[in-house]
Amino acid sequence: MASLPILLARLGNRPGVFVLGDFGLRGVGRFSYLGLKPVEQVVFEQNGEGDPFEILNRELEKYQLDASQDLPAPFTGGWVGYLSYDLGSYIERLPDSVDHDIRLPLMYFGFYDAIAAWDNQEKCGYLLALEYPGQAESPEGRLTRLRAICRVGDQPKIDEQNTDEHQSASLQYIAHLVRQMEVGIEHQAYLDKVIRAIEYIKAGDIFEVNISQRFACDYQENSSVLYEYLARHNPAGYAALIVGADHAVVSVSPELFLLRRGGRIITRPIKGTAPRGANEQEDQVNRDWLEHSDKDRSELNMIIDLERNDLGRICRYGTVKVLAEREIEEHPTVLHTVATIAGELWDNTSISDILRATFPGGSITGAPKIRSMEIIDELEPTARSVYTGSIGWIGINGDMDLNIAIRTIILSGRKAYAQVGGAIVADSDPQAEFDETLAKAAAMVRALWATGK
- Could you please report the per-residue DSSP string of 376-421? HHHH-SB--TTTTSEEEEEETTS-EEEE---SEEEEETTEEEEEEE
One-letter-per-residue 3-state SS of 217-277:
EECCCCHHHHHHHHHHHCCCCEEEEEECCCEEEEEEECCEEEEEECCEEEEECEEEEEECC
Does position 266 have pLDDT exceeding 80, yes or no? Answer: yes
Q: What is the DSSP letter of 90?
A: G
Tens of pLDDT along 37-83?
999 999 999 999 999 999 999 999 999 876 556 788 999 999 999 99
What is the percent of the chain where pLDDT is above 90? 77
> What integer best gives the mean pLDDT of the chain?
92
Tens of pLDDT along 403-438?
999 999 999 999 999 999 999 999 999 999 999 999
Answer yes or no: is 123 within a domain. Answer: yes
Answer yes or no: is 326 within a domain. Answer: yes
CATH number at residue 282: 3.60.120.10
Mean pLDDT of 270-297: 90
The alpha carbon of residue 166 and the mean position of all alpha carbons in its chain are separated, in whole angstroms, by: 21
The predicted structure's pLDDT at residue 231: 92
Residue 312's identity, in one-letter code, is G
The predicted structure's pLDDT at residue 156: 42
Tens of pLDDT along 369-387?
999 999 999 999 999 999 9
Answer yes or no: is 137 within a domain. Answer: yes
Containing structural domain, residue 406 = 4-152+167-452
The predicted structure's pLDDT at residue 105: 97
pLDDT grade, residue 453 (50/70/90)? low
The predicted structure's pLDDT at residue 157: 45
Tens of pLDDT along 197-220?
999 999 999 999 999 999 999 999
Answer yes or no: is 158 within a domain. Answer: no
Answer yes or no: is 160 within a domain. Answer: no
Mean pLDDT of 331-353: 93
Does position 325 have pLDDT exceeding 90, yes or no? Answer: yes
Give the list of residues 6+ apart from residue 133 with CB closer than 8 angstroms, or none: none
**Assessment of whether the complete model's pTM goes beyond 0.85:** yes
Does position 35 have pLDDT exceeding 60, yes or no? Answer: yes
**Which residue numbers are catalytic?**
255, 271
Tens of pLDDT along 90-125?
999 999 999 999 999 999 999 999 999 999 999 999
Answer yes or no: is 197 within a domain. Answer: yes
The predicted structure's pLDDT at residue 165: 47
Domain count, the chain: 1
The predicted structure's pLDDT at residue 261: 95
Highest averaged pLDDT of the listed ranges 20-29, 206-215, 232-241, 333-342? 206-215
Answer yes or no: is 58 within a domain. Answer: yes
Answer yes or no: is 162 within a domain. Answer: no
The predicted structure's pLDDT at residue 160: 46
- Are 171 and 385 contacting, i.e. CB atoms less than 8 angstroms apart? no
User: How does strand 415-424 pair with strand 18-20?
Assistant: unpaired
